[in-house]
Structures are given as C-alpha cells and as structure tokens.
Structure 1
C-alpha cells in the first residue's frame, strides 16, 4: 500500500504539468489572435477557457491564469502604447477578477463613472479623436519653441499612424478586458454639456439691429426691393426673348462655375496691395474712402465695409520673420518687432517713453506724453486725487479714448481693472496693434460721426489722456456721446493741456468744455496738477438722477427725443442731445453694481423684472443657470480635455457671448475676453458690463475692427446656426483666420450639419483638428491655426 500510494503521487504532477502546458498554449494562441484580429470578440472564448480551467484547477488558479494573460498582453504593447494603456489595463484586471460582463458595459458608454473619467483626465490619457477623419486625430505631442511658446505638431503621416495604432489598441483592450471605452475620449462632464442645456428661445429682448436706426432703414429698403422683385415676377410673360437668352447663358456660366468649385472649391490666395499684413477690410476700403465728400469729422477712419461682390476672399500674409508672441505678463513690457514691424512710432515718440526699439524687441517703458512718472504713478495719483474711484472695487470697467499704446490699460490690470482702449487706425502708427500684441484689450475706432458700439450707461469711468478730441465743438456732440455710455454716477477723467496749461488756446478750450460739462449737469470733482510731473487732471461725475436736467434754466443741450433710443449703437449717427437717466424702480442703471469681484456672480437686480430671459425661463433664473453651465464646461472640459496650452492664451474672444458666462468662468486665468453680442441676437451686452466684463456689438456679416493676428482663442458657440443664412459662413471663417494668431485656437460648438459645411473650409486652411466629439446632433471641435499661408506668387488684388 505505501508503495502504491507513492507511485500514485508521482503520476499526479505529470498530469497537471500536461494540463498547465495545454492551458499556456491556449492562452498564447488567444493572445496572438487578439492582436491580429481586433474586430473579433475574444472575451467569449476567454470565458470558455477560463471555465475549463476553473473546473480542473479551481477558482484561485483560474484567477492567477487570467492575471498572467493580462500581463502578457501588457508586455506585448509598444512602449509608448503601453504607457497610454496603463490605466485601462489595471482596470481590466479588476473587471476580469470580478467577472464583469463586457458586452453590457460597451452598450452603456454614455453612463461612464465620473470618478473614472476624472482619473483618466489626470493621468493624461484623455486624447481627443476625430470621429470622421483619422488624419486629423490628435496625438498632441507638443514641443516648446521660442521662449516656451507651444506650437509644435506632428507630421500628418505620424498623426495618421499614431492615431490608427491608438484606435485599434483601445478597441482591443476594451473588448478583451471588458472595460468600456470613453466616447471619443471626451472629458466626463462634456458628455452632458455638449448638448446645450440652455436652449435659446425667442423672448421679449430687443436686438441691436432693431434698436439701430440705420438697420431699420436698411430693412425697409430691402423690403421695398423684394416687393419690386415680386411685382416684376408677375410680368414674366412680357420678358423679351433676348433677355431670356441672356438668362440661359448666365445659368450655364453658373453651372460651369459650380462644377469647378466642386472639383476644387477653395483657391486661397494672399491679399495684395498696400500693407496687407495689417489689412482690416472695413477700415481699409480705399474705394469707399475716395468717394467720401469730406473727412473733416474723421469719416475716413470710420467703418466702410466692402460688399460681398466688391471683395474677393483672400488671406492676409504674415510679416516677414513672424514668430509666436511673447507671453503675458512679459508681453506688457516687450514684444517682437517682426510681429509688428512699425518703427515710426518709436521714432516719433522717442522722447515720450511710449515705445523703443531694442534689437529684435520693441520695449514699452510704461510712459507716455501724460505719464512722465510712468503709468503706475499716474494711476496712483488719480486715486490719490479722488479716493472714491477705488480702482478694482468700485471702478472696474473703463473706456480709454485715444489710448496710444494702451500703457494706462496695461498697468490698470495690476489694480484689477478692465479697460477698453480704442484709437483710430494709423493716426499714430499701429498703436492699437501694439496694444493687442502686448495682450491689452483694444479696438480700432474713432469718435467721428457715429455712435460708439456700446450700450448706454455701462462704463464705470471714461478716461482721456491728451487724446486731442474737440469735446467743446458742434454742440458738444462728442462729449454727449461719452455721457451716453457713462454709467450714472460714473467718472470722466480728463488729462490734457487745457486742464493745466495757460496758453490762450488751452484756456479757451477749458472754458468751453467746463461750461458744456456744467450744462450736462456733470459735477466737477477735481482739477489739479501733480507736483512731481506737473501733469494735471480734471475729474467730472455724471449725475445719478434727472433732478438737474429738470431744473436747468437753459435747456441746452436738449433732452433726446423718445425715438433716439440710448442703446441703439450699430451705425447710428451721433446726436447733440442728452439722454435722460433711468429712474423707474427696477430699471437698468438705477443702481451701481456691487463691488468687484462680487458683481461677477451677482444677478443684476433689473433682470428680476424680466419675465422671460434667453432660455424661456425667467431672466434671473436663466442667468444663474448660464453661469453654472459655463463653469462646469470650462473647468471640466475646456481646461483638461482639449489639449490647449492655456499658458499661451491671453487675448480671447467669445463670438456669441450671451450673458458672458464663458468669460466669467475664465476670470481665474490671466486672460481677458472680448464678449461679442451679435446685432441680430438679444441685447445682453448690458448684463456683461454689469458683471464687470468687457464687450461690444458686432454684425458677423462684416469684418471686425481689429488688426490681423490679434486673438489667441476664439469661442464660437452656436454662432453659425444662430446667424443662419443671413451671413456667408465661408467669409466668417476667413475673418476668423484673419484675426486669429498663428498657433491660436478655435473652439466650435455647433450642429453637426453645420460643422459638415465648415470642416472642409478648416482643412483647406491647413488648420489642425486637435479634438472632435459628436453627441446626437451636436459637435464639439477644437482646432489650431498653423503658420501656413498660400504661396506668395498666388495673390489677388
């Protein structure tokens, strides 16, 4: 018996060795099959083999075998793929050990656990992938070039190969391990945020187009033309045969043109003629400017946009030697000369500390004609003269008239103050372009014959340092325009020679301007000069109510008529009249906003009186919902999942701003946002200013009043679908290309049907699609502009 037992003990190990060898070979063959045939479903076979193993060796040995298989699978990965797969592999082990059903998980990818998704974000493995074009799927290997500016991208072949490998590897891993794949690797919150929760509905809001007088005239003229065309259509039978023949030829020509466009729809060429590197279509329309009867009121510096028929689409060339801009905050003090190659201002103002050229850089000492002690000293002096101005608390949003290179605005950032600077194009060579290259808000504009493109009663203060604006002429029309946009109780800060010099002309200008200010019921709070610089400043305050207007002995300037609406601003002529101050309870501008930063989150009290806001719900409720929505999107999606190097982003534009929620969510970042409210959209721009943010009206059927290459990031949230067919989408994308800096970003949130139209344009411009995700009928797309321009020989006049 002992001998028999001993013999039996010797046979058992041999049997188990045979079984183990069979199992090992089976697992090895399955592993090879997994990587050679990713479209199969190896999980089912794995479960069958595992079941047999459990029957013969027990659950413990089976579990160990599964772990061995996963380890072999991990070893089979390439080094760079293995790093990406670490988290998925570790998850797979847990899933296999707990026998989770992979098929049910794959069918429920929309319900991914937020904690897992956040881990993936932190692990850096959340890469965006195009769901329609693998060539543009990102493997976003960013490299640092020129002072740390991020601008590298892989070649198209490398992206294609890497993207293809990643897609197959992730698909294989999800099937083998039972781990659900993130839908195109979108950040967790974006799954619920892409479909806009705040769907806009028509409401009681007015639009700038309806407010503006000229817009009404244009609508009336268009209506008359349409009626005339309809009347002509009733007499088609009387059309001569010759005219019909001409129409037939025209149709044939159009068909030929359509066929050519189908084969090669975009024939990009560089703009030609003059200094096209700084081309602003609506300000450089020389044909229109030549036809002006007079330029005495700076009409030649106002907007004169070419019609669609008059301007061929072209791309603005890059200045020779252009490189990614210096980053903020260093850019406030120095920028690359080749990016803004204009030495004239440095020479013209060399004794006034505006700007100096030093090698490849332009240096901004922070001085200026009125800032002999530096901009910071001047800012502190103004607050010393009037402590109630309380920079960055009581006074948050400022308009700077005739800004120069915007050093005043640049140093007010230290005080938590946002300043909208503006000056006419080319009055002093490229001054606004210098400001934007430095990372300071600015637009090209002039106080001429038309109103500024801002609503009434929104700026906490208006500043003018030696801006040479003739405030006292023509019934005070220009100063009355400042009164229109200045908030009741707001300040007008005037630092110019009439304030502190005693030449005969200065004395006369001061006398007439001070008299006009008194007639407008402005209260003169100060008129003094800095003992150290001998630069003077006068500060006036706009009244908070209509008491003074109602008790004036001399009714000059007159009160504006009821049809001269104070908020109308898009192509509306200035009027030499004063608008009444809102006085009814709950009316906008009857209260000063809360101190900054509380005003950013506070719901404007006047919104409570609006029963219907943008989204169908009460305006105050919609405002809070909008704010929460964009906080989540920016924090959970934009900052983590799109691959944007936010350290390289300074100048941002929200092209369809609504309540300004996107800009508000970015206030913790060192960026500023130009909030654009399209003229055809509900007029929410006063809400944006009440929050302590900057904004402007604009019609995207026209060019924006800024230099080329001035914004780092454009945010287009349902802009194209809201505009509809009123504007040419191709022209809007070309305008985006003009104002966007090379290596800058665009975030599209749009309907898939519209993105199908826009995406070919993007690719033709050689923009890199870095992230793409679709959900139902909506799409999120993040693209990066490259340095590409058409060949210099391909130019059009």
Structure 2
C-alpha cells in the first residue's frame, strides 16, 4: 500500500532464435518505456533527500528546482551505532569496480536515492524500484516536463550479477504488484479533511542494519556534478569510522531516575505492510490530543480539585488512526506575520475571542484571527510590558543574562512571542481548559508552547533549568497545599533566577487579593526568595513583584521554623516523569563544580561552550570525554546542516518556524539552526541519557517525553520533525504504527519528517488513510 514498484519483466532467451530475441527485445523495450514514463509522472512529486517528508497536501504548488550540488552525502554524519558490522563489507576488488559504476550508473534514475554505502551503491542501478519517498505534495504543473525527462533519460535495468537478496526482492515485487494496484484503485477519498489527499511513495529497502540517508539527483545534471557526488560517497565513508556509538555516559536515563514509568514492551512484529490507515473518530475531532482527551479516564477520577482532569491520561493502547484536517485549513501564515494574524479556518474557535476580546488578546478580522499584542496584564502591548520589567529590575538583562524562561498560564503566548525580539526563548505553558485552544493559538502563531498544568505531578523539566519564571495573572493557587505549586517553581528555577509575579494580589486591595498576598508573602519568605522590587506600570495600570531565588543554603538553615521542610537527600529533583509533587525545598548545590552552583555564561556564548560543570573525566553520550563529546556533537550537526539539510533536501527553511528534535541528545541540531528565524523543541526520551540539563544550560529548551505515548500538543503543531536513530529503538518497545500515527498528528500539512535510521526502519514508514477508527475512550 502506497508503494510504486517497477516490475522487471526480463526473461532468459538463451534457447530462442535471433529473430525471436529481436522481437522480444523490441516489445519489452516499449513496455518498459511506457511503465517508466507512467511511474516517473508520479515520481515527479519527489523533491527531497536526507528526509522523509510526510507533507499533507493543502493545495497544489510548484516545487522549486533543487541544486544537485547540495546533495552531499556524508556517511560521517551518522552515528556508528547504526552501521556496526557493515562498514567493512566491500572488498578491494569490489571497490575498484564501484569507482567505474558510480559515474556511469548511480545517477541514471530520475529519483534514485543514493545515500548508500559502497555495497549499496554497487546495486544502485538494479535497485531502481527500491526507494524511500514519503511526500504528499502535488505538482501537476510539472507532469509534462517529467514525462519529457523520462523519455530522454530512461535507462533499462543493469544486467549485472543479481544477489540472492535481489532475487528475493524481485519475487516479492511480482507477488505484490497486483495487490498494490488494487489497493490504489479501491482507496476512497477521505472526507472531512477539506478534500485533501495524502500521497506517499514507500520503498522497502534491504533488511540490513545499515544507516540510511537518501539522496535524489535530477536527470538533467551534468556529468561533472555526478562525478563529484560519487567521489564524495567514497570520501565520506571514511568519516563514519570517526563516530562512536551512543552510550549512557555519565548520565542516567529519566526512566531510571523516576523509577515509575513502566515501559510496556509491545510487539512490533505486526505485519506493517497489511495495515490500512484509518481516520480517528473522536469527540475532539481535528483537535484530538490522545493523552489529554481520554474522556473515559477523566470521568473515573475521584477528584478534580487539584486539576487532575487537566493532566495526562494516555489510552491503554496508543491510537493508530490519523487525525483529519479541519474544514477550510490553509497553509499557515509565515513568521513574523503569523505573530499578528493566523487563518481562522486553521483554529476555528471563538470562545476565547468572546471571553478575552476586550483585553486586546485576540480578535476576528475577516478570514483571519488577529493578535493585537495585548494580554490581561498588558492591554497596551507586550513590548511595553517587557521593557517595563527590565526597567524595574535591570539585572534581568533580557537576552543576555536571562535567556530561557517559563511562562505559566501563558494565554495565547504574546509575552513569549515578543520576547523573541529580545533574544529570549520562552516555554509557554497552559492547560487545555475552558479557554479553548490557548496553546493551539500560540503554536499556530509560531510561538513555543505546550499543554500542561500545575496539578499533582512535577513538570517535565529538569531542576534548576529556567533563568526566569513568569506569571501574569496566571490564576494558579501558589499558596495552597503547603505551597506545593510554588515549590515546584522553586525546583525548576535556577539559583539566582527570578520569579516575576504580576497578578492582582500584587496591586489590588480587594479582600480576596489581600488574603492571597499575605499568604504568598509568608510562603515566599519561608522559601528565602528575596523581594527585589514591586514596579508599577502606569500605562497598563498593573504592578509586578520581582523575586530572586537564593544562591546558598544559609537562609534555609537559619529559619526559625523548618517549613516547608528541606527535601530528603534521597529525593532526586531531576526525577520528574510521573513523579508527584512534594511540599519540600531542594537545597542549592554547594560544590563549585556542580550544576546550579554558578550562573551560565551570557548568551550567545553559552550556546557553543561546554557548561563549566561538564566534567572532562566523565564519559559523554558517545563515549568520549563529556566536554569533547559536547563540542564534537555541535560540530557534527553544523556540518550536517550546512552540507546536507540547508540546501540538499528540498526544504525551504524560510518557511519553517516550529521544529522538533525528537531525540535531541546535547541539542546540537538545534544549536546548528541558531541563525534561522525558528525555534526547536528538544525532546529527550525518558529512556535516553538525561542530557536535558545540558540543553537548558546552553540557552536552549526542551522536555522529557516517552514516545510510546502521545505528545502534549495539538495536531498540526510542527513544520519539521527530526528523528535521529530514534525509530529503530522505539520499535523494540512500542507499537511502531502508533508512533507513526503520532508523527502524522503533530506534523503540519506540507511539513517534513527527517529520518536518520537503519534501512529496515525507514522502509516501514508509510501512510494513506482510507477508513475511520473509533477511539472509545475519547467519545463523550
């Protein structure tokens, strides 16, 4: 399903006469020419390399010409763990033969993916039917041109030695040919998705463990360009030997630290080839978030007084259906215009507009939803409010000392959206509550945000992560239950960091506000936070209290009453996955070489230099000394992006805003994109080395997550998902179908999935929904 294979119908003619041979050859040539022409028309939609672009069609558009010289395959870009046992497979004799074959055959196919090692390149010309293409872009305007190229450049398959593996593949192709055609003819057009149709071309590559990265070369390239790329294939393979396999290094995994996440090993041996994608039938419709819309689990909760109903409750089995597009969906408005306006049809919700319109949050203007830049506490614009805070406490120094902040109860995230102008990265956080689609509005605007709540569990961030925590009338009851929620902020706020509170208790004298202010003042004093100043914003008619977390434990020891108590030594502040909140204070690190003892260097220097606490005596994730590991990882991703991703895979980076690295390690991929007008959500899987503190330390941000479960974001959130050697690991413990369904859910239409993994794993990625699947747990 979704595969388009060319069937090689050649037969032996050893026992036939010369005239028979001539007739057979002529007829076969005609048939092959016709098949290749038809196939090439479909193939003209392929416009990428080094990535699997799962792009949901919104409307037909032209694909720009790709610079073939940008397709620089770099085997050194891939971790060695994906190539063990394969790098020495080619003999010296084979190598000499390959040098000649590279220039003559490796680039004869219109969309032949050439990111292969030497053994795979030897078979390149005979593997023309094996390809990994996953794109849903329609390019009808290029069909005639593609047909012409095919007529001029079609080349018959090489009649070289066929390996047993090739014989087996040819047999499989003949068996599947009729089924593929039937499936394609019988697939109904999906309704409820604005008439859009998802297209995917799928290749099943050799089932080896060799890491794969695809390269496409246009047929009109000159021979010199082909020769240069072919030579690089040989040169870059040597770089691969310099890379090391991933290890846990000096860091344990989040799963081990939390000790509560019980990983269920689900068999991934289900026949992926026979799977028929279905559309999800749920009450939430096109806004379905599986772990936040589990209505059955929410109904069974004994209490919701601590916002339990806003927390994550994942279905017993992760959904394997696809979330449809809303009617009237359009390609998202580009940044920075998206900060001011988005298409109404993409987030067709009006309740928040009606409820908050008078506060200058959000308005409707024709076919757009507009954002004047205001908020509950800054009706006259976020920029004035941002400058007001720095004027109140100049030491905050937006974009230099204060780089990564957490905005609790973010609304539509205008505060974080305008902090980009001050070189500040904001993690905006809000629950999926009665103010519908707050976070969805933020993400559609191109502003970082997640759906989460200050409830009963720790936030999915490491301790001492944020430079600043901000709450502008966020309506969080910080002072109740022994101050558990404020103590959670104390955990994630770095020593010396700032808490900015501009809620009504700071500047109003209503009876309720006075009670809250007194309770908060008492609690904050017991936390040893220093009240630096209460600033008054006369323009917006509000005030903001700015507090500073202590950098030592002296105050804690000198308190007359040990309340809240200090946490026990056994309580790891970095263990967060499904860990309940505790009403205790974690002590400040006292060792000068320990993380959190000192402040990071100023931005942007902190991005490129290893943190002071990253010890050279400890092994890093890739087996080298931790500090060298950090530097090598950064250089690695700079090289990959410059030589491959930026110009070599058909992505228009000027149109990219929301990016996710699904397995971030040190955050090197995000760091390599620092000069682009985008942001990257760095995800550290709970079973990977706990490197998220390093990511925050270098002025980036991220989150812990288990990819066997749904991510806490709305559908259609990200332009690009980057998965580096992630899926092959997930197949061992998750239902891989559900993983790919989740990828499709959070990826925007026309978005791209960049996959770097072994060939077998990449070959399993495919989609094409044709049926509807009802999720019982999500039906009201």
Residue 298 (structure 2) aligns with: 289
TM-score of the two chains, using structure 1 as the length reference:
0.71
| Residues 1:179 and 1:739: Cα distance change in structure 2 (over 3 Å) | closer
How far residue 400 of structure 1 moved from its aligned partner, in angstroms, is 0.3
Is 1:538 the counterpart of 2:545? The answer is yes
CA distance, structure 1, for counterparts of residue 358 and residue 722 of structure 2 = 41
Is 1:478 the counterpart of 2:469? The answer is no
Residue 455 (structure 2) aligns with: 448
Residue 37 (structure 2) aligns with: none
CA distance, structure 1, for counterparts of residue 532 and residue 100 of structure 2 = 65
Residue 252 (structure 2) aligns with: 206
CA distance, structure 1, for counterparts of residue 600 and residue 696 of structure 2 = 9
Name the SS for the 2:751 alignment partner.
strand
CA distance, structure 2, for counterparts of residue 153 and residue 549 of structure 1 = 69
Residue 739 (structure 2) aligns with: 732
| Residues 1:743 and 1:465: Cα distance change in structure 2 (over 3 Å) | same
Moved more, 156-165 or 266-275: 156-165
Match of 2:762 among 751, 755, 765: 755
Question: What is the RMSD computed on CA atoms of the aligned residues?
Answer: 3.8
Once the two structures are superposed, residues 289-338 of structure 1 have per-residue CA deviations (whole angstroms, 9 ceiling, x without a partner) of 11100000010100000012xx5521101100101100111100000000
Match of 1:107 among 98, 111, 119: 98
CA distance, structure 2, for counterparts of residue 724 and residue 502 of structure 1 = 58
Once the two structures are superposed, residues 650-692 of structure 1 have per-residue CA deviations (whole angstroms, 9 ceiling, x without a partner) of 0000000000000000010001000000000000000000010
Is 1:387 the counterpart of 2:378? The answer is no
Moved more, 671-680 or 203-212: 203-212
CA distance, structure 1, for counterparts of residue 754 and residue 253 of structure 2 = 25
| Residues 1:155 and 1:730: Cα distance change in structure 2 (over 3 Å) | farther
CA distance, structure 1, for counterparts of residue 136 and residue 747 of structure 2 = 22
Residue 629 (structure 1) aligns with: 636
CA distance, structure 2, for counterparts of residue 598 and residue 188 of structure 1 = 36
Is 1:437 the counterpart of 2:431? The answer is no
CA distance, structure 2, for counterparts of residue 504 and residue 342 of structure 1 = 35
Once the two structures are superposed, residues 751-797 of structure 1 have per-residue CA deviations (whole angstroms, 9 ceiling, x without a partner) of 123223x23xx2xx25xxxxxxxxxxxxxxxxxxxxxx546x77665
Is 1:322 the counterpart of 2:329? The answer is yes
Instruction: Tell whether the 8 Å contact from 2:136 to 2:750 is kept in structure 1 after alignment.
Output: no
Which is richer in helix? 1
Match of 2:431 among 424, 429, 449: 424
Structural mapping, 1:609-688, within 5 Å = 610-688=617-695
Name the SS for the 2:401 alignment partner.
coil
CA distance, structure 1, for counterparts of residue 435 and residue 112 of structure 2 = 46
Name the SS for the 2:474 alignment partner.
coil
How far residue 466 of structure 1 moved from its aligned partner, in angstroms, is 0.5
Is 1:409 the counterpart of 2:416? The answer is yes
Q: Which entry has the higher C-alpha Rg, 1 or 2?
A: 1
Instruction: Tell whether the 8 Å contact from 2:276 to 2:770 is kept in structure 1 after alignment.
Output: no
Moved more, 163-172 or 438-447: 163-172
Name the SS for the 2:407 alignment partner.
strand
Name the SS for the 1:605 alignment partner.
coil
CA distance, structure 1, for counterparts of residue 529 and residue 331 of structure 2 = 46
Residue 564 (structure 2) aligns with: 557
How far residue 199 of structure 1 moved from its aligned partner, in angstroms, is 2.2
How far residue 426 of structure 1 moved from its aligned partner, in angstroms, is 2.8
How far residue 723 of structure 1 moved from its aligned partner, in angstroms, is 3.4
CA distance, structure 1, for counterparts of residue 756 and residue 302 of structure 2 = 44
CA distance, structure 2, for counterparts of residue 733 and residue 462 of structure 1 = 34
How far residue 617 of structure 1 moved from its aligned partner, in angstroms, is 1.1
Residue 298 (structure 1) aligns with: 307
Instruction: Tell whether the 8 Å contact from 1:476 to 1:516 is kept in structure 2 after alignment.
Output: yes
CA distance, structure 1, for counterparts of residue 719 and residue 599 of structure 2 = 33
Name the SS for the 2:644 alignment partner.
helix
Report the count of equivalent residues. 619
Name the SS for the 1:391 alignment partner.
coil
How far residue 191 of structure 1 moved from its aligned partner, in angstroms, is 5.8
Residue 513 (structure 1) aligns with: 520
Instruction: Tell whether the 8 Å contact from 1:332 to 1:410 is kept in structure 2 after alignment.
Output: yes
CA distance, structure 2, for counterparts of residue 86 and residue 350 of structure 1 = 50
CA distance, structure 2, for counterparts of residue 335 and residue 371 of structure 1 = 21
Instruction: Tell whether the 8 Å contact from 1:495 to 1:535 is kept in structure 2 after alignment.
Output: yes
How far residue 357 of structure 1 moved from its aligned partner, in angstroms, is 0.5
How far residue 190 of structure 1 moved from its aligned partner, in angstroms, is 6.9
Moved more, 704-713 or 187-196: 187-196
Match of 1:487 among 483, 491, 494: 494
| Residues 1:126 and 1:416: Cα distance change in structure 2 (over 3 Å) | farther
| Residues 1:175 and 1:733: Cα distance change in structure 2 (over 3 Å) | closer
CA distance, structure 2, for counterparts of residue 193 and residue 323 of structure 1 = 43
CA distance, structure 1, for counterparts of residue 68 and residue 475 of structure 2 = 65
How far residue 154 of structure 1 moved from its aligned partner, in angstroms, is 6.8
How far residue 159 of structure 1 moved from its aligned partner, in angstroms, is 6.0
Name the SS for the 1:400 alignment partner.
strand
Structural mapping, 1:53-202, within 5 Å = 107-108=98-99, 152=139, 162=149, 166=153, 168=155, 181=227, 197-202=243-248
CA distance, structure 2, for counterparts of residue 467 and residue 391 of structure 1 = 21
How far residue 273 of structure 1 moved from its aligned partner, in angstroms, is 2.8
| Residues 1:553 and 1:431: Cα distance change in structure 2 (over 3 Å) | same
Name the SS for the 2:479 alignment partner.
coil
| Residues 1:720 and 1:594: Cα distance change in structure 2 (over 3 Å) | same
How far residue 727 of structure 1 moved from its aligned partner, in angstroms, is 1.5
Match of 1:522 among 516, 529, 537: 529
How far residue 585 of structure 1 moved from its aligned partner, in angstroms, is 2.6
How far residue 367 of structure 1 moved from its aligned partner, in angstroms, is 0.4
Match of 1:376 among 379, 383, 390: 383
| Residues 1:453 and 1:195: Cα distance change in structure 2 (over 3 Å) | farther
CA distance, structure 1, for counterparts of residue 548 and residue 492 of structure 2 = 13
In structure 1, runs of 5+ residues without a counterpart are 1-35, 40-82, 88-102, 113-119, 143-150, 227-253, 767-788
CA distance, structure 1, for counterparts of residue 308 and residue 100 of structure 2 = 59
| Residues 1:651 and 1:127: Cα distance change in structure 2 (over 3 Å) | farther
How far residue 441 of structure 1 moved from its aligned partner, in angstroms, is 0.3
CA distance, structure 2, for counterparts of residue 650 and residue 275 of structure 1 = 26
Instruction: Tell whether the 8 Å contact from 1:397 to 1:693 is kept in structure 2 after alignment.
Output: yes
Once the two structures are superposed, residues 376-434 of structure 1 have per-residue CA deviations (whole angstroms, 9 ceiling, x without a partner) of 00000000001000000000000000000000000000000000001001331100000
Residue 21 (structure 2) aligns with: none
Residue 776 (structure 1) aligns with: none
Is 1:267 the counterpart of 2:313? The answer is no
How far residue 626 of structure 1 moved from its aligned partner, in angstroms, is 0.4
Instruction: Tell whether the 8 Å contact from 1:190 to 1:637 is kept in structure 2 after alignment.
Output: no
Match of 1:702 among 700, 709, 717: 709
Once the two structures are superposed, residues 523-572 of structure 1 have per-residue CA deviations (whole angstroms, 9 ceiling, x without a partner) of 00111321222211000000011111121111111001122210011000
Name the SS for the 1:734 alignment partner.
helix
Residue 77 (structure 1) aligns with: none
In structure 2, runs of 5+ residues without a counterpart are 1-28, 33-64, 70-93, 116-123, 159-217
Name the SS for the 2:606 alignment partner.
helix
Moved more, 440-449 or 522-531: 522-531
Name the SS for the 2:666 alignment partner.
coil
CA distance, structure 2, for counterparts of residue 86 and residue 321 of structure 1 = 36
Match of 1:307 among 309, 313, 316: 316
Is 1:280 the counterpart of 2:326? The answer is no
TM-score of the two chains, using structure 2 as the length reference:
0.73
How far residue 703 of structure 1 moved from its aligned partner, in angstroms, is 0.3
